[in-house]
């Protein structure tokens, strides 16, 4: 395996580090060893990046759609060629199993390929008036974008911040998480190597609040795109609002899963247990509150616990590991706190519940049942390997509980009734609803939430249109 790479900023196409800049250590979540040292951008670095983003925007938007598209396709090919290395470094810094790290690098390439195609499908429309005049509705890139990506999907999240804006013709300054920097740098480097101008895609790191205040305080930035927690999202949305910048906010969730008695229960268990514990539950669309019709509750609960007990937790680089460590100590500690609070409130702890070992941020896959709604974990996104399984009297109560929280990102349902599927699609408050499947994400479909889970979409046509503004041209 190759060494963990040297870390740097990428400003105006050049790697930047050293020079007495502040630094921070990147920690391997499986061993707690230091993987690398990450430089922070100075205030001058950020000003330079802003100025380059302004120039980069003009250059990139001035290229033809064909040119932009072929550069993005080339970058996607580079990501695939480099998937082995990118995936290994991603697993090291984030903790997930190697196959998932590699899969993430490849999925980022797929996202980019889709966005590359969208470059060529940006249409306006013409309204022809009977008297001969006409109105042209044109779409233009909004301008330089500031993107902030979290650590749970260090490559995909960075690509989601970059792909839509670049396809639209915008420039982007991205700040990946300081906890998983190598993946973000690798994504941006692939774009630069493929021919994206240095000012059109840049990568910075620092103290998150300092970087976001600096970038969002500049009139050069015309759009904010953020993935992360709801409290930080609300704070950044306010900063963006001060300058009326448009925003895409992909925030937390608390995925309800409605399991009815008219479905294949074994398939539901198999699919959803795999989904729940993927990436140690650190997934914004993770299924969390399992609301199970009471006549199939025991069967579902027991099957789910069985599946959870079979999972192997270990270093993501080792063979046969299903779940790596959690990405950081605060996530693991938070899970411990939420589980303790749930059992104090009377929840049944059916399996798991403890951290594993005292080195690395490992935590057991955990299942709680009969969790009262006043337990914190029923209200706060756990973002860890914990499933909450509760019996429910029927459809109405299940929908009511699904909609109880202010979140509305992903929701899941298992039912074979076509009429019920339609009712759920109409009534469940979520940006994405998966019925009889665990998949809520596809490169060509919008990804995003409602209520406190945010607004705006990434991926799909909507992910590009979210970076464009209409201009209406009236011709007499």
**Interface with ligand NAD by CB under 6 A: which residues?**
148, 150-152, 177, 208-209, 212, 227-229, 232, 235-236, 250-252, 284, 330, 381, 383
Question: 313 pairs with which residues across the strands?
Answer: 323
Residue the block writes with tokens 């063979």 = 319
Nearer to ligand NAD, 225 or 415 (CB): 225
Distance of closest approach, residue 184 Cβ to ligand NAD, in angstroms: 10
Q: How far is the CB of 176 from ligand NAD (least distance, A)?
A: 8
**Least distance to ligand NAD from the beta carbon of 468, Å?**
24
Nearest to ligand NAD of 145, 392 (CB atom): 145
Nearest alpha carbon to residue 392 among 275, 472, 291: 291
Rounded to whole angstroms, what are the CA distances from 234 to 137, 165, 293, 312, 404? 32, 22, 35, 37, 20
C-alpha torsion sign, points 194, 124, 145, 79: negative
Taking the complex as a whole, how short is the minimal distance between the CB of residue 174 and ligand NAD, in angstroms? 11
Which of helix, strand or coil describes residue 39?
strand
Q: How far apart are CA 386 and CA 376, in angstroms?
A: 13
- Minimum distance of ligand NAD from residue 369's CB (angstroms): 22
Q: Give the C-alpha separation, 46 to 43, whole Å.
A: 5
Catalytic residue among 100, 113, 179, 250: 250
Considering the complex, state which of residue 49 and residue 251 has its C-beta at the smaller distance from ligand NAD.
251
Q: Is 284 a catalytic residue?
A: yes
Q: 272 near 237, Cβ under 8 Å?
A: no
Q: In this structure, what are the phi and psi dihedrals at residue 39, rounded to the nearest 5 degrees?
A: -75, 145
Distances, alpha carbon 171 to alpha carbons 58, 154, 213, 273, 451, in Å: 8, 20, 19, 40, 29
Cβ neighbour number for residue 400 with a 10 Å cutoff: 12
Residue placing its CB nearer to ligand NAD in the complex, 209 or 417: 209
Residue 216 CA to residue 208 CA, distance in Å, equals 12
Task: Give all strands of the β-sheet with 125-128 in edge-to-edge order.
Answer: 125-128, 134-141, 468-475
Residues 170, 203, 284, 467: which is the catalytic one? 284
Nearest residue (CB) to ligand NAD, 63 versus 145 = 145
- Smallest distance from the beta carbon of 455 to ligand NAD, in angstroms? 13
Measured from the CB of residue 474, what is the shortest distance to ligand NAD in angstroms?
Answer: 40
Which residue, among 272, 269, 157, 231, has the nearest Cα to 407 in the 3D structure?
231
Q: Which two tokens stand for residue 235?
A: 């704070």
User: Considering beta carbons, is residue 179 or 395 the nearer one to ligand NAD?
Assistant: 179
Query: What does the alpha-carbon distance between residue 47 and residue 218 come to, in Å, rounded to a whole number?
Result: 9
Phi, psi of 313 (to 5 degrees): -100, 135
User: Which residue lies nearer to ligand NAD by CB, 329 or 349?
Assistant: 329
Among 197, 215, 219, smallest CA distance to 206 is for 215
Active site residues: 250, 284
């Amino acid at each position: 395996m190759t060494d963990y790479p040297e870390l740097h900023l990428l400003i105006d196409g050049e790697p930047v580090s050293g020079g007495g800049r502040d630094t921070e250590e990147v920690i391997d979540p499986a061993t707690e060893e230091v993987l690398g040292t990450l430089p922070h951008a100075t205030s001058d670095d950020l000003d330079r990046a802003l100025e380059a983003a302004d120039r980069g925007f003009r250059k990139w938007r001035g290229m033809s759609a064909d040119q932009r598209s072929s550069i993005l396709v080339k970058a996607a090919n580079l990501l695939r060629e480099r998937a082995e290395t990118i995936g290994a470094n991603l697993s090291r810094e984030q903790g997930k199993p190697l196959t998932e790290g590699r899969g993430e690098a490849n999925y980022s390439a797929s996202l980019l390929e889709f966005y590359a195609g969208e470059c060529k499908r940006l249409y306006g429309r013409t309204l022809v008036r009977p008297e001969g005049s006409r109105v042209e509705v044109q779409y233009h890139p909004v301008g330089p974008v500031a993107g902030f990506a979290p650590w749970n999907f260090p490559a995909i999240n960075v690509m989601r911040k970059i792909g839509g804006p670049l396809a639209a013709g915008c420039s982007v300054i991205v700040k990946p998480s300081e906890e998983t920097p190598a993946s973000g740098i690798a994504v941006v480097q692939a774009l630069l190597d493929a021919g994206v101008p240095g000012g059109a895609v840049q990568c910075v790191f620092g103290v998150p609040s300092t970087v976001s205040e600096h970038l969002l305080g500049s009139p050069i930035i015309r759009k904010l795109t953020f993935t992360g927690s709801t409290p930080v999202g609300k704070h950044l949305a306010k900063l963006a609002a001060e300058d009326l910048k448009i925003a895409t906010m992909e925030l937390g969730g608390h995925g309800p899963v409605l399991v009815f008695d008219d479905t294949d229960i074994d398939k539901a268990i198999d699919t959803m247990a795999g989904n729940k514990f993927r990436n140690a539950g650190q997934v914004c669309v993770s299924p969390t509150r399992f609301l199970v019709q009471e006549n199939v509750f025991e069967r579902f609960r027991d099957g789910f616990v069985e599946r959870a007990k079979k999972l192997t937790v270990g270093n993501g680089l080792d063979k046969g590991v299903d779940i790596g460590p959690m990405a950081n100590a605060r996530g693991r500690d938070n899970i411990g706190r939420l589980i303790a609070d749930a059992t104090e409130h009377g929840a049944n702890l059916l399996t798991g519940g403890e951290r594993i070992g005292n080195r690395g941020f490992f935590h057991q896959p955990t299942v709680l049942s009969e969790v009262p709604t006043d337990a914190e974990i029923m209200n706060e996104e756990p973002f860890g390997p914990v499933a909450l399984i509760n019996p429910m009297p029927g459809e109405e109560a299940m929908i009511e509980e699904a909609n109880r929280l202010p979140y509305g990102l992903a929701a899941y349902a298992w039912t074979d009734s076509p009429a019920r599927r339609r009712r759920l699609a109409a009534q469940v408050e979520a940006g994405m609803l998966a019925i009889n499947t665990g998949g809520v994400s596809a490169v060509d479909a919008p990804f995003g939430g409602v209520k406190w889970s945010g607004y705006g979409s990434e991926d799909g046509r909507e992910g590009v249109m979210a970076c464009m503004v209409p201009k209406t041209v009236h011709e007499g």
